[in-house]
Chains A and B, each alone.
Chain A
Amino acid sequence: MNTVAPFIRHVKYVMSENLVTLFAFGLFIGLVVLAFLGPLIAPYDPLATNAVNALRPPSWAHPFGTDHLGRDVFSRVIVATQLDLGIAVAAVGISFIIGSALGCAAGFWGGWIDRIVGRVTDTVMAFPLFVLAMGIVASLGNSVENIIYATAIINLPFYSRVARSEVAIRRNAGYVQAAKLSGCSDVRILVTQLFPNILPPMMVQISLNMGWAILNAAGLSFIGLGVRPPDAEWGIMVAEGATYIVSGEWWLAMFPGLVLMLAVFCFNLLGDGLRDLVDPQRRT
């Protein structure tokens, strides 16, 4: 494939030009490693309580200190990566698949499909999205899966809109007409011709959306939805630590909060970098 080599060169160019993107990429690799190997790397059992050692400030033995039950905050922060990223990846995955299917259909066939999909996405967007997520979780029941579904639903409009507009520009492109002439069915054209072509802008959307999905899921668990207390998750750790802020035990809430921030920051930077790669004209 002679189209791949220039792309890789372009990637290298963008990475070396833009150190921030390189940094974000490194951070991303780190997060993925933590998500997969977290439980193996963590120095302590994230659920092991130790009342004697409760509320100790950061030290060599406990770099992030210990919480009100004497659990090691550092280990809990590491182990939580898996759950936090897992929720975000699952939610974004669902909205990517359903959103691009709906958007592709709307953009390709137009007509009443377009009108219905457009109306549904408009209606979802008419809600303040975090508030809608709260309502969905309240209705479906308070569990981690429902956090995922709620986050997926509120992200759906973004994917279906991008997919719709990208397909609509291309639906009369030369290669689509060629495929039609050679007797391909509409669905086949959508799947084999159009979908691969709209993937780059969709990937940018995914990356920009991941950070937001993580924030959203953490926000929901911060207010007590989804993840149940003994489990380690950044949002709930910040919520548990919040009561100790006013008495000066800052490490309980600060470290999980900082890591959460870093993760979101990483995905936002990565999204910007990816957009530069895919669409140099829209650079900011």
Chain B
Amino acid sequence: MKISSLAITQKGPPVHDNKLVQITLRVLQSVPSIIGIVVISFALTRALPGDPAVYFAGDIADEESIQLIREQLGLNRSWLEQLGIYAANLVQGNLGMSLNTGRPVSEELLERLPASLELTLFGLGLAIIVAVPLGILAATRPGSWVDQLCRILVTAGVSVPTFFTGLLLIYIFYYLLGWSPSPLGRLDILYLSPPQVTGFYLVDSLLAKDIETFWAAFKQLLLPAITLGLFALAPLARMTRGAMLNALGSEYVRTARANGLSQTTILITYALKNASLPILTVLGMVFSFLLGANVLVEKVFSWPGIGSFAIEALIASDYAAVQGFVLCMALLFVVVNLIIDVILTLIDPRITLES
């Protein structure tokens, strides 16, 4: 804040307000995406073969309740009206009922979302911790063994199917070495899940000051998170290396070197700060892939998240549940992109309204 108030120029509006306007505009820009997502998920629910009302009513429904559902969904009205009803239902958080469990889809998703988020965020965190330093090292020593390692990891990372990495890790660390607990769920049956506050077991167990449960949950989380992390590592390391190479080759870094600044100052304050913009941009894309990979990892590790829920629903032809899941993931992705763009706007003084 201090810097931005200092940077107020005489001509233009205060930088401060400018950023606020930009962020508001960026938030508004996500409205068309959300509309597009709603339209596509509506189209997906209507693309079902046969009468959607019969599907949504379930196997045991009689003619009367099918008729009721038909009216609820507005299937006897025009497409546009149906879309309106669909959107109105969404705004109220009504995603329909899950045939599998007999409960509202939104409840099911909300209940399982923390498990998936904990896994995804932890995996992403691991990937960032490894990928960024690796990329920086590779960029500062092109052609060295670190650079070669980075290249191998990057190429292998995009070629190895996540489910395969997961199984390999289970075989090595559970079967051969016996280091990790059995790959079934978030917590061994011996432990009780911590009292729910955030839904993240790691956080909740710490809040409850239950170190033992924390370790148990941590051990359980480690393998699936590493699996996801290895997958996210490749694009992040690649982008870090590229962006750092770019920044290190720039004139401002040359000037900084000529002025005799220390290597650390040049690397961190000059190069990394500039390289962080493309890295953050690629982070959005990585998140999109992670949300997909998450489904596969959840299946491999029997993780009780929304991915497992969606797979069960898919196998049982529980359409409302699957479409609710797709919609939920898409909205999550929009929010993540929005957050990344807001951060970009905040840290990059070059992004202005004109551009």
Residues of A in contact with B (beta carbons under 8 Å apart): 119, 122-124, 126-132, 134-142, 211, 215, 218-219, 222-225, 235, 238-239, 241-242, 245-248, 250, 253-254, 257-258, 260-261, 264-265, 268-269, 284
Q: Is A122 within 8 A of B36, CB to CB?
A: yes
Complex alpha-carbon distance, A127 and B285, angstroms: 11
Complex alpha-carbon distance, A247 and B314, angstroms: 28
> In chain B, residues 65-94, which have Cβ atoms closer than 8 Å to a Cβ of chain A?
none
- Knowing A128-B289, A224-B315, say if A257 contacts B161 (CB, 8 Å): yes
Q: Is B330 within 8 A of A242, CB to CB?
A: no
Complex alpha-carbon distance, A136 and B182, angstroms: 33
Identify which of B40-48, B123-131, B198-206, B256-264 touches chain A.
Answer: B40-48
- Interface residue SS majority, chain B: helix
Q: Is A131 within 8 A of B330, CB to CB?
A: yes
Q: Is A127 within 8 A of B161, CB to CB?
A: no
Tally the A-B contacts, defined by beta carbons under 8 Å.
157
Complex alpha-carbon distance, A246 and B175, angstroms: 6
- Knowing A238-B163, A246-B174, A265-B159, say if A126 contacts B33 (CB, 8 Å): yes
Give chain B nearest CB distance to A89 CB in angstroms.
18
Complex alpha-carbon distance, A8 and B193, angstroms: 65
Scoring B residues 14 to 47 as 1 if CB is less than 8 Å from chain A, else 0, what string do you get? 0000000000000000001100110111001101
A-B contact pairs, 15 of them (CB 8 A): A127-B333, A128-B292, A128-B329, A138-B44, A138-B314, A138-B317, A219-B292, A222-B163, A223-B295, A235-B163, A238-B161, A238-B163, A254-B171, A264-B159, A264-B160
> In chain B, residues 136-172, which have Cβ atoms closer than 8 Å to a Cβ of chain A?
155-156, 158-164, 167-168, 170-171
- Knowing A131-B325, A219-B296, A257-B164, say if A225 contacts B45 (CB, 8 Å): no
Which residues from A are CB-within-8-Å of B317? 138, 142
Number of B interface residues, CB 8 Å? 55
Q: Is B32 within 8 A of A135, CB to CB?
A: no
Q: Is A129 within 8 A of B292, CB to CB?
A: yes
8 Å CB contact of B37 from A127, A137, A250, A254: A127
Which residues from A are CB-within-8-Å of B49? 140-141
Which residues from B are CB-within-8-Å of A137? 314
Complex alpha-carbon distance, A225 and B312, angstroms: 11
Give chain B nearest CB distance to A128 CB in angstroms.
4
Which residues from B are CB-within-8-Å of A138? 44, 313-314, 317, 319, 322-323
Residues of B in contact with A (beta carbons under 8 Å apart): 32-33, 36-37, 39-41, 44-45, 47-49, 155-156, 158-164, 167-168, 170-171, 174-175, 182-183, 242, 287-289, 291-293, 295-296, 299-300, 310-311, 313-315, 317, 319, 322-323, 325-326, 329-330, 333-334
Complex alpha-carbon distance, A143 and B32, angstroms: 32
Which residues from A are CB-within-8-Å of B299? 222-223
Q: Is B288 within 8 A of A223, CB to CB?
A: no
Complex alpha-carbon distance, A142 and B317, angstroms: 9
Q: Is A131 within 8 A of B326, CB to CB?
A: yes
Give chain B nearest CB distance to A219 CB in angstroms.
6
Q: Closest residue of chain A to B310, judged by CB? A: A134
Which residues from A are CB-within-8-Å of B168? 254, 257
Q: Is A126 within 8 A of B333, CB to CB?
A: yes
8 Å CB contact of B296 from A223, A258, A261: A223
Q: Is A139 within 8 A of B319, CB to CB?
A: yes
Give chain B nearest CB distance to A137 CB in angstroms.
8
Complex alpha-carbon distance, A253 and B319, angstroms: 30
Q: Closest residue of chain A to B155, judged by CB? A: A268
Which residues from A are CB-within-8-Å of B156? 265
Complex alpha-carbon distance, A122 and B29, angstroms: 12
Give chain B nearest CB distance to A149 CB in angstroms.
11
Which residues from A are CB-within-8-Å of B175? 245-248, 250
Q: Is B171 within 8 A of A269, CB to CB?
A: no
Q: Is B155 within 8 A of A265, CB to CB?
A: yes
Q: Is B36 within 8 A of A135, CB to CB?
A: no
Give chain A nearest CB distance to B2 CB in angstroms.
36
- Knowing A128-B329, A130-B292, A138-B319, say if A223 contacts B47 (CB, 8 Å): no
Q: Is B44 within 8 A of A128, CB to CB?
A: no
Which residues from A are CB-within-8-Å of B291? 128, 130-131
